[in-house]
Amino acid sequence: MTIRHHLSDQLLMAYAAGQLPEAFNLVVATHVSLCDECRAQLASFDAVGGALLEDADEIAMGEDALAEALTRIQGLPQATRSEPLKSAGVFPAPLADYVGGDLASVRWRRVGGGVKQAILPTGPDATVRLLFIPAGTAVPDHGHRGTELTLVLQGAFADQNDRFSRGDVEIADEDLEHTPVALAGEDCICLAATDAPLRFRGLLPRLAQPLFRI
């Protein structure tokens, strides 16, 4: 597997610092488990962060600081910092652990045109969903009101800018408007996180948007 589209340094640093919403954490952890390059980069950021902590001045902590930190850690998806996590199915290990299994464990909901989604439970700051897009099917033309991370787990899709296959991440922001199309040959399954609703051009997608929380 050759991964051509990686996470940005800004996202990896924010992940290492614990500054991302839970939904984005899941996408980053899942990609890192597949990508040697991003895993190595993340390890370097962890090392820098550790060195900075060692040199920092000591400060007094509240009595409940340890319990609060442990609670936050338990809520994060788990990803290795040095070795890739293994998974025998479509879902890499961090996602399989989060879902509680592989594809058979997903409770899909149809959204039209053969496309299905499953919104995963996360914190309130962002939303993450699994998307099933039949081969040859186009997603309605749309823009973004915030950031969207889309990680390909199976098959491939293409838009006006590039082609994305297993392990690739597309980072979309408010400047990007596109019409992703699942390529022929294999149904496309993606993990997508957004911190704001999409901006659809078509009337029908806009009407359905509140129902499907897109």
CA distance 200 to 214: 10
Instruction: Encode pLDDT of 125-157 as tens digits.
Output: 999 999 999 999 999 889 999 999 999 999 999
**Strands, E, within 58-141: which ranges?**
109-112, 115-120, 127-133
- pLDDT number for residue 186: 97
Within 10 A of 66 (CB to CB), how many other CB atoms are there? 10
Fold of 9-96: Arc Repressor Mutant, subunit A (1.10.10)
Instruction: Encode pLDDT of 33-48 as tens digits.
Output: 999 999 999 999 988 6
- Sign of the CA dihedral 53, 24, 43, 33? positive
User: In the chain, which segments carry CATH 1.10.10?
Assistant: 9-96
Confidence of residue 200 (pLDDT cuts 50, 70, 90): confident
pTM: 0.81
Asked if the 99-212 domain carries CATH number 3.30.70.20, the reply is no
- pLDDT number for residue 81: 45
User: In the chain, which segments carry CATH 2.60.120.10?
Assistant: 99-212
CA distance 177 to 173: 9
CA-based nearest residue to 8, from 162, 147, 143, 126: 147
